Structures are given as structure tokens and as C-alpha cells.
């Protein structure tokens, strides 16, 4: 299988329980909830996405003929840092489960990577992924109802909280929706966590620090 990658770079993970960790960030092109084009946003299943995942023209992006070629490129971004720690690759999109397959998982494992994925949960995550983060979108059918981290962008009218809280996750995070009403979203997320002690607040620290 060949792979279409929008961008790839070395950074610090900016969100969730793994925030602050050194990671190679791999963004696949394409999503099943929105075309990525502004003219389609109003009718998309996800209307608030703030990510460019169209094409393969981003930094480190391109088309990779097979899993070994892509895994080698990921390894080249990791480089040779000081001893200690583990290699971490964070795979996202768009929707990464449109492209992530067993061959790429195996190639990354061979190179010593721990694999984290950030998905909308509408496609089952394959075996071998070490950290599963699901971010549900209102009005979609989530089939990946278990994992390490549930990251709910808030506020999202139409989410069924009773259903979501019946899922099987180890960590429950609420992340304020970015955009023109970011301050109101932050206040709403804080109120949400104060009302529901199971949850904790997650911030996009990479944006606060000026990282990608």
C-alpha cells in the first residue's frame, strides 16, 4: 500500500496525557468527515476542524510507495537524541485510520517506535497501536468506543454524554474548541469539568508555545 502524507515533523506532543513528550508527528492526508475544502464545510459531518489535511505539500509531506519507505522517513526525523526515553510517533490526520495498516505498524515497531493515534473513532483502530486517542464528533457513529484517551472538543451540541460516558477509556479529557469564540469555549469546558469530576481539562499547549 502507498501512503499520502500531508506533513511530518519532530515536535513536542501538544495535547492530552502525553503533552510535552518528544514525538515525530505524522499527519495523513484525507478525512471521512470533511473534504478539507471550505466550500464543503457547512455540510460536513465535522464543521469545526482547524487543520489543513488536503494534499501532500506540507513540510515533510509526500507520497510513500510502501511501509518501509515511510517508516524510514519517520525514523530520520527522530534522529539520534540523547540516551533514554522511547521513540514516539503520533499519527493523525484528517482521519489516520483511512491509511494506517498492519504493514506500517509492523515497520514502525521494527524501528522501535511506540505508536499513538488520534482518530475520530468512526473506523476501528487496528492491532498494534499503543495509545488510542478518540475525539468524537457530534452526529457521527463512533465504533472505536475504547482506548487510552477520550478527548472531547467542547462545546459540541448534539453529543450524547450518557452514551459517551458508557464507553471504556482510561482517561477522560475535555478540550475547548478553538476559533472565534475560544474564550467562551474555555469557560464552558471549565464549567464542564467542575460539574463532572471524571473529566479533566486539556489545552492545546503547542499553540500556547508557538509549536506546530
Helix, coil or strand: residue 56? coil
Out of 49, 53, 113, 119, the active site residue is: 49
Told to judge if 206 belongs to the known catalytic residues of this protein, a careful annotator would answer yes
Out of 11, 47, 51, 205, the active site residue is: 51
Out of 50, 72, 165, 187, the active site residue is: 50
Q: Strand locations in the chain, DSSP E? A: 3-12, 22-28, 62-64, 87-92, 113-119, 131-134, 146-154, 168-176, 200-201
Told to judge if 118 belongs to the known catalytic residues of this protein, a careful annotator would answer yes
Told to judge if 49 belongs to the known catalytic residues of this protein, a careful annotator would answer yes
Q: Which residues pair with 173 in a beta bridge?
A: 151, 200
Told to judge if 169 belongs to the known catalytic residues of this protein, a careful annotator would answer no
Out of 7, 95, 118, 149, the active site residue is: 118
Out of 46, 53, 113, 169, the active site residue is: 46
Told to judge if 31 belongs to the known catalytic residues of this protein, a careful annotator would answer yes
The C-alpha cell at 77 is 526525523
- 135 CB contacts (<8 Å, ≥6 apart)? 118, 119, 120, 121, 150, 151, 152, 153, 175
Told to judge if 50 belongs to the known catalytic residues of this protein, a careful annotator would answer yes
Told to judge if 47 belongs to the known catalytic residues of this protein, a careful annotator would answer no
Out of 7, 15, 25, 28, the active site residue is: 25
Out of 7, 15, 28, 31, the active site residue is: 31
Catalytic residues, which ones? 25, 31, 46, 49-51, 118, 206
Amino acid at each position: 500500500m502507498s501512503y499520502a502524507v500531508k506533513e511530518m515533523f519532530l515536535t513536542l506532543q501538544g495535547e492530552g496525557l502525553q503533552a510535552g513528550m518528544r514525538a515525530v508527528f505524522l499527519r495523513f492526508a484525507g478525512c471521512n468527515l470533511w473534504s478539507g475544502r471550505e466550500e464543503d464545510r457547512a455540510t460536513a459531518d465535522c464543521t469545526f476542524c482547524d487543520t489543513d489535511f488536503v494534499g501532500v505539500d506540507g513540510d515533510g509531506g509526500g507520497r510513500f510507495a510502501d511501509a518501509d519507505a515511510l517508516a524510514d522517513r519517520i525514523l530520520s526525523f527522530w534522529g539520534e537524541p540523547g540516551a533514554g526515553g522511547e521513540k514516539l510517533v503520533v499519527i493523525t490526520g484528517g482521519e489516520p485510520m483511512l491509511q494506517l495498516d498492519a504493514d506500517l505498524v509492523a515497520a514502525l515497531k521494527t524501528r522501535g517506535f511506540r505508536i499513538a493515534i488520534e482518530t475520530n473513532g468512526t473506523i476501528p483502530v487496528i492491532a498494534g497501536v499503543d495509545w488510542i486517542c478518540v475525539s468524537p464528533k457530534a452526529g457521527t457513529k463512533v465504533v472505536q468506543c475504547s482506548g487510552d484517551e477520550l478527548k472531547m472538543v467542547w462545546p459540541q451540541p448534539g453529543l450524547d454524554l450518557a452514551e459517551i460516558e458508557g464507553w471504556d477509556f482510561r482517561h477522560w479529557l475535555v478540550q475547548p474548541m478553538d476559533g472565534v469564540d475560544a474564550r467562551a469555549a474555555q469557560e464552558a469546558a471549565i464549567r464542564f469539568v467542575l460539574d463532572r469530576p471524571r473529566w479533566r481539562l486539556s489545552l492545546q499547549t503547542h499553540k500556547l508555545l508557538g509549536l506546530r
